[in-house]
Amino acid sequence: MFISPAYAQAAGDSPSTLLSLLPLVLMFVVLYFVMIRPQMKRQKEHKAMVEALAKGDEVVTAGGLLGKVSKIGDPYIGVELAHGVEVQMQRTAVVQVLPKGTVQ
C-alpha cells in the first residue's frame, strides 16, 4: 500500500571497468609529462655537466660559493675559493659552471 514495489536495475546500464579506469590512467600520463620527464632530463644534464668538469673551470656550489676548480678526483674536486684557500667537495655539489672570467 504505502511502499511501491522495487525493481532491480538493469545490468547493462553500469559503465565498463575500462571506462572507469580511464581518468586514473589519464592522470598518470599527465603526471609523467609534467613532473617525471622534466626531472629526469634535469638529472641527465647535471650528470653530464659534472662529468665534464675540468681544471680551471669556474663553478657555483650548492652552498652558494664561487670558485675555480683546482684539482679533479673521482668522487671529490678541489675548489679554490680565494688565493690560498682551497676546499674539497663532492663533484655533485657543483650546481653551475660559470663563463671564464666571472670569478676574480
Same domain, 67 and 91: yes
Indicate whether 5 belongs to any domain: no
Same domain, 81 and 98: yes
The overall pTM is greater than 0.85: no
Same domain, 59 and 103: yes
Same domain, 48 and 76: no
Asked whether the predicted pLDDT for residue 10 surpasses 60, the reply is no
Asked whether the predicted pLDDT for residue 9 surpasses 80, the reply is no
**Can you tell me whether residue 51 is helix, strand or coil?**
helix
Strand-pair category, 85-90 with 94-98: unpaired
Taking alpha carbons only, the member of 56, 83, 87 closest to residue 69 is 56
The three three-digit cell numbers of residue 68, written as one number: 675555480
Taking alpha carbons only, the member of 42, 52, 59, 65 closest to residue 96 is 59
Mean pLDDT of 26-31: 94
Same domain, 59 and 47: no
Percent over 70 (pLDDT), the chain: 88
Provide the domain limits for residue 27: 15-52
Confidence label for 20 from pLDDT (cuts 50, 70 and 90)? confident
**Can you tell me whether residue 72 is helix, strand or coil?**
strand
**Can you tell me whether residue 54 is helix, strand or coil?**
coil
Confidence label for 56 from pLDDT (cuts 50, 70 and 90)? very high
Mean pLDDT of 16-39: 91
Name the residue with cell 580511464: 22
Mean pLDDT taken over the chain: 88
